A and B are shown apart, each in its own frame.
Chain A
């Protein structure tokens, strides 16, 4: 088998393998992402009301404290192994909220602890969060400079 014949053979084989893949269930995936993402935001809103009513915070302080509590919950659930279980079913519903950001920091930190504290835990901590901070600082400062010049 050479040339074109071989290409056809590969193509047929890939199509054959793909026929065993379960089809992506778009509606089910999206519904789950909506449900889990919405619930996490509701927990955030609950924390917001609590901090506003009980601790009497407001404005930037309230927003900051809410994300700190959510990030704490995200890292704790990651450590307990619960967050990965949620993520397997929820997809983007568990990635996009700030708890997903916390999970992306805590998960490699826990996993690479065995490779040492400096090059393992500390370096691998930012394997996903690093790009977010890099592009966030670049884009944020760009916005700031544009407003400065306008």
Chain B
């Protein structure tokens, strides 16, 4: 029973450390290059695809759980992982696998954004 709590605590600690580190790397890139948010997101997503393409990101996901899947590189991991799993089924799977794996995220983003756009009005930005 006690060991189980330690395991849960370690899970949070790993997620915090790995997720925080990925965000810190992104912040360092922003500080030194003035890239916009969109380009940072694309860059980290592509890094996730590349690392999973080489089969490396899976180790990070197994180690850190949400710490590796919650950052946008986890979205790239999902795309690459889906495509690889699809490729085992044949050429059609290789073609459809990437978006099938990411469909939960994209559908959720579209549906909830639509609902929020109906509910909320845009506010004047106070900077």
Measured CB to CB, the residues of A under 8 A from B are 24, 26, 29-42, 44-49, 60, 63-68, 70-72, 75-76, 78-81, 84, 88, 91-93, 95-102, 104-106, 109-111, 113-114, 121, 125, 128-129, 131-133, 135-137, 139-141, 143-148
Contacts and interface: CB of A to CB of B under 8 A. Distances in A.
B108 to A, nearest CB: 4
Contacts of A143: 49, 52-53, 79-80, 83-84, 98
Given A49-B11, A71-B109, A143-B80, A66 B50 contact: no
Contact of B69 (A30, A33, A66, A104): A66
B41 A95 contact: yes
**How many of chain B's residues touch chain A, expressed as a range?**
35 or more
Given A71-B109, A136-B49, A33 B26 contact: yes
Contacts of B83: 140-141, 143-144, 147
A33 B72 contact: no
A130 to B, nearest CB: 9
A76 B86 CA distance: 33
A interface, over-half SS: helix
Contacts of B28: 26, 30
Given A106-B116, A137-B79, A97 B20 contact: no
6 contacts: A41-B19, A45-B67, A67-B105, A80-B120, A105-B110, A141-B94
Interface string B7-48: 010011001111111111011111100000110111011100
B60 interface: no
A38 B106 contact: no
A93 to B, nearest CB: 5
B interface, over-half SS: helix
A80 B112 CA distance: 13
B122 to A, nearest CB: 4
Interface in B78-101: 78-80, 82-84, 86-88, 90-91, 93-95, 97-99, 101
B27 A93 contact: yes
A67 B69 contact: yes
Nearest to B54: A143
B105 A98 contact: yes
Contact of B71 (A31, A41, A84): A41
Contacts of B82: 140, 144
Interface centre among A36, A76, A141 (most CB of B within 10 A): A141
A34 B78 contact: no
A78 B95 CA distance: 34
Contact of B109 (A33, A75, A97): A75
B17 to A, nearest CB: 7
